[in-house]
Amino acid sequence: MLTEFEGRTAVITGAASGIGLALTDAALERGMKVVAADLNADALGNLERAHRATKNLAICVTDVSSHTEIGKLADFASETFGDVHLLCNNAGVASAGRLWDHGPDFWKWILGVNVLSVVYGAHQFVPRMIAGGQAGAIVNTASMGCLFSAANMGAYGATKHAVLAISDTLRQDLAAINAPISVSLLCPGPVRTPIFDDDLSPDGVEANTDEQTWQSYRKLIGAGMDPADVASCTFDAIAKGEFWIIPDVGMVDLAIDRHNQVLEAADRSV
C-alpha cells in the first residue's frame, strides 16, 4: 500500500485534461515524479509548459489502445524516473447512442481505449512493480456508470462495467501473492471535464449517434464536481488502501436500486 508520495513515481494516462490533469497536478503537489501520458500532443505540451519550473514531470505521447505503446510508456517511465509506484489508468472516451447503431469498428475503438488500456497497463506495469518489491498502488478510472445502466449509454457503460471486474480481480490476484500493491477503482459521477466536448472517435467511426443524449450528459457534467476535488479524494483513498473511490454519492441510489432488484429476484427464486 502506498502511503507516502514524496519522491515516488506516478504514471498517469489521459493526463492532459480533466481528471487526468487534476491527478497530475495533485501528484506533483505531493512531491511525486510524474510521467504524463496522453494522445493529445498539443495538450501535453501545454501541460509541460505549465510546469516548466519542475524537473519532476515528463510527458509521453501515447495511444493507450496499443499494447506496444503502453510497453513503450513503461520503458520510458523506467528510463526517466526509475521504479513506478503509482499507475493511474485514467484515459477514457465517451459515447452516446443505441447499441444497434454502433458498428464493429466503433466497438473496437471504445473497448481499446476504455478497457484494453487497463489490461495493457496491468500487463506492462504490474510485473515490474512486483519485481521492484516496493509499496505501490494502481488506480483504474471507471465511472458511477459501472454500477448501473442507462439508456443510450450501453457501450460506455459496458466498458466501465468491465473496468470494475478487471480491477476487483486484479486486487484479489495481488492480495493472493501478498504483493504490497493496492488497487483502487475511481467511480466519479458528473465531473467538469471535456469528455463530451467533442466526438474523439476516429474518422468513419461515430461515437455520438444520439445527439440529445450527448448534449444531456454534456450539460450534466458541466455542473459537476471540480476535477481537483476528485483528485484529492483519490489520493486520500490511495493512502488508506481503499478499493472504492466514490467522490460524489449523488448517483448511489441508482446502484442501490439495481442491488435491490437482485435481492428481490433472489427472494423470488427461493
Q: For the residues of 132-162, what is the DSSP string, one character each?
A: HTS-EEEEEE--GGGSS--TTBHHHHHHHHH
Helices (H), the chain: 18-29, 41-50, 67-81, 104-111, 117-132, 154-176, 211-222, 227-240, 252-269
Is the pLDDT assigned to residue 205 strictly greater than 90?
A: yes
Write out pLDDT tens, residues 27-65: 999 999 999 999 999 999 999 999 999 999 999 999 999
Residue 268: band (very low, low, confident or very high) from pLDDT cuts 50, 70, 90: confident
Between CA 20 and CA 36 the distance in angstroms is 9
Region class of 152: left (phi > 0), else alpha (psi between -120 and 50), else beta: left
Question: Which cell is 238 given?
Answer: 490511495
To which H or E segment does residue 9 belong?
strand 9-13
Contacts of residue 249, Cβ cutoff 8 Å, sequence gap at least 6: none
Rounded to 5 degrees, what are φ and ψ at 40?
-85, 100
**For 9-269, CATH number?**
3.40.50.720
Question: Which cell is 54 given?
Answer: 519542475
Is the pLDDT assigned to residue 123 strictly greater than 90?
A: yes
Question: Which cell is 161 given?
Answer: 462495467
Question: Region 84-102: what's the mean pLDDT?
Answer: 97
Among candidate residues 52, 234, 250, the one with its CA nearest the CA of residue 144: 250
Going 229 to 90 to 1 to 259, the CA torsion angle's sign is: positive
Between CA 76 and CA 80 the distance in angstroms is 6
Write out pLDDT tens, residues 126-164: 999 999 999 999 999 999 999 999 999 999 999 999 999
